[in-house]
Amino acid sequence: MQKSSPYTKGFITFIVLMVLTIVEYYIGLASNPSAVLLILIAILKGGLIMNIFMNIGRLWRPEEHH
């Protein structure tokens, strides 16, 4: 498996977060914005940040022994 550089992973995460933020903005501009949809997008963004930058996924992996 090929590992991507931290800069590439960070840049892709930035782009995804930017797109989701723009989507949230346009949902908020609607005359009757969906609070449920905005909350779901916020949860998705938080999960992405926790997984990529806080490495939360490592909590459930078996430990590696060297």
**Is 63 among the domain residues?**
no
**Is 35 among the domain residues?**
yes
pLDDT value at residue 66:
62
Alpha-carbon dihedral 24, 41, 48, 15, rounded to 10 degrees = -30
How many structural domains are present in the chain? 1
Amino acid at 62: P
Contact 16, 44 (CB under 8 A): no
23 versus 62: which is more confidently predicted? Answer: 23
**Is 65 among the domain residues?**
no
pLDDT beyond 60 at 3: yes
Q: pLDDT for 17-51, tens place per residue?
A: 999 999 999 999 998 989 999 999 999 999 999 98
Task: Look up the domain containing 43 and give its range.
Answer: 6-54
Contact 33, 19 (CB under 8 A): no
**Is 59 among the domain residues?**
no
CA distances from 48 to 1, 24, 35, 56, 64 (A): 21, 16, 20, 10, 24
**Is 20 among the domain residues?**
yes
pTM above 0.85, yes or no: no
**Is 60 among the domain residues?**
no
